[in-house]
Amino acid sequence: MIHFGPAGNSASFYAQGHKHTVEAFAWISDMGLDAYEYSFGRGVRITKATAELIGLAAEANGVSLSVHAPYYINLATHEPEKAAGNLRYLAQSAEAARWMGAKRVVFHPGAQGGMPRSEALARVKASLMLVIEHLENEGLFDIEICPETMGKIKQIGDLDEVIQLCKMDGRIVPAIDFGHLHARGRGAIQSLDDYAAILDRLEEKLGGYRAKRFHVHFSRIAYTDAGERMHKTFADEGFGPDFAPLARLLAKRGLEPVMICESKGTMAEDAAEMKRMYLEELEKQ
Q: What is the pLDDT of residue 141?
A: 83
Domain boundaries, the chain: 3-284
Q: What b/e string do you get for 57-92 counting C-beta neighbours within 10 Å, with b at 16 or more?
A: bbeebebbbbbbbbeebbbbbeeeeebebbbebbbb
Instruction: Give the integer Cα–Cα distance in Å for 140 and 14.
Output: 33
- Based on its alpha-carbon atoms, the radius of gyration of the chain, rounded to whole angstroms, reads 18
Count the Cβ atoms, other than its own, within 10 Å of residue 203: 15
Instruction: Give the integer Cα–Cα distance in Å for 84 and 140.
Output: 17
Largest CA distance in the chain: 54
Instruction: Give the integer Cα–Cα distance in Å for 96 and 265.
Output: 25
Domain 3-284 grouped into CATH 3.40.50.2300: no
pTM here is: 0.97
Sheet holding 3-6, edge to edge: 3-6, 258-261, 215-218, 175-177
CB 270 within 8 A of CB 233: yes
Amino acid 234 reads: F
The pLDDT tens digits along the chain (285 residues) read 899 999 999 999 999 999 999 999 999 999 999 999 999 999 999 999 999 999 999 999 999 999 999 999 999 999 999 999 999 999 999 999 999 999 999 999 999 999 999 999 999 999 999 999 999 999 988 899 999 999 999 999 999 999 999 999 998 999 999 999 999 999 999 999 999 999 999 999 999 999 999 999 999 999 999 999 999 999 999 999 999 999 999 999 999 999 999 999 999 999 999 999 999 999 998
Instruction: Give the integer Cα–Cα distance in Å for 100 and 57.
Output: 9
Sequence-distant (≥ 6) Cβ neighbours of residue 111 within 8 angstroms? 74, 76, 120, 154, 155, 156
Q: What is the pLDDT of residue 83?
A: 93
Q: Is 223 exposed, middle or buried, given 0-12, 13-18 or 19+ CB atoms closer than 10 A?
A: buried
Length of the chain: 285
Instruction: Give the integer Cα–Cα distance in Å for 107 and 99.
Output: 18
Instruction: Give the integer Cα–Cα distance in Å for 188 and 174.
Output: 19
**DSSP for residue 236:** S
DSSP-assigned letters across all residues of 187-233: S---SHHHHHHHHHHHHHHT-HHHHHS-EEEE--EEEETTEEEEE--
Count the Cβ atoms, other than its own, within 10 Å of residue 115: 16
Sheet holding 144-147, edge to edge: 35-39, 64-68, 104-107, 144-147
